[in-house]
Amino acid sequence: MKKIGIFYGSDGGNTQNVCQKIAKVFGEENVALFDIAKATKEDVLGFENLILASSTYGSGDLQDDWEGALAQFQASDFASKTIALVGVGDQDTYSDTFCDSLFHLYEKVKQAKIIGQTAVEGYEFSDSQAVIDGMFIGLALDEDNQDDLTDSRIQNWVAQIKPLFA
């Protein structure tokens, strides 16, 4: 397996912590972890395998650092990549935009081979743009209301996607 670049945007630290957990499950020697606020376009494009993670802010917005970072890229930049997505949200307070950050990332990278879709069962939300064909388009986590499920969700998700990275 080629090294995986994990890029995250995090203001409050939840998404960073989630990505550190994902890195540990993969084995830290198999990944490189980057805060998107400090990463360059070349950093991102230097990996064939990517995990992109963002918290969801306001009414379904992408984390601020991602907004600027994604503006540097064309959708075609990701066409040859294998990408898994992680969204962190609050399904109680923001039930109608839960983990919409997944969708915003997906819109930019959907020319890639997208892996890591997850079931919506076990969540309580009213709407999410991140649900396509009845599945989240990545790993959806709620550190505010279901943090007790995060570790098992990460374990299961990594087991699902690890063999799909070349």
Give residue 1's pLDDT: 77
Residue range(s) defining the domain that contains residue 80: 4-164
Q: Per-residue pLDDT tens for 134-163?
A: 999 999 999 999 999 999 999 999 999 999
The amino acid present at 115, given as its one-letter code, is I
Provide mean pLDDT across the span 18-40.
Answer: 96
- In whole angstroms, what is the distance from residue 81 CA to residue 123 CA? 29
The amino acid present at 133, given as its one-letter code, is D
> Which CATH number is 14's domain given?
3.40.50.360
Give residue 97's pLDDT: 95
Q: Which element (helix H / strand E) includes 134?
A: none
The pTM (predicted TM-score) of the whole model is 0.96
Task: Give the count of beta carbons closer than 10 Å to the beta carbon of residue 25.
Answer: 17
Number of domains in the chain: 1
pLDDT over threshold 90, residue 12: no
Q: How many CA atoms lie within 13 A of 140 on its CB side?
A: 30
Residues near 131 by beta carbon (within 8 Å), at least 6 away in sequence:
120, 137
Phi, psi of 28 (to 5 degrees): -60, -20
- In whole angstroms, what is the distance from residue 44 CA to residue 127 CA? 30
**How large a percentage of the chain has pLDDT more than 90?**
90
pLDDT over threshold 90, residue 42: yes
- Taking every pair of Cα atoms in the chain, the longest distance, rounded to a whole number of angstroms, is 39
Are the CB atoms for 45 and 72 separated by under 8 Å? no
Are the CB atoms for 27 and 162 separated by under 8 Å? no
Q: Per-residue pLDDT tens for 66-115?
A: 989 999 999 899 999 999 999 999 999 999 999 999 999 999 999 999 99
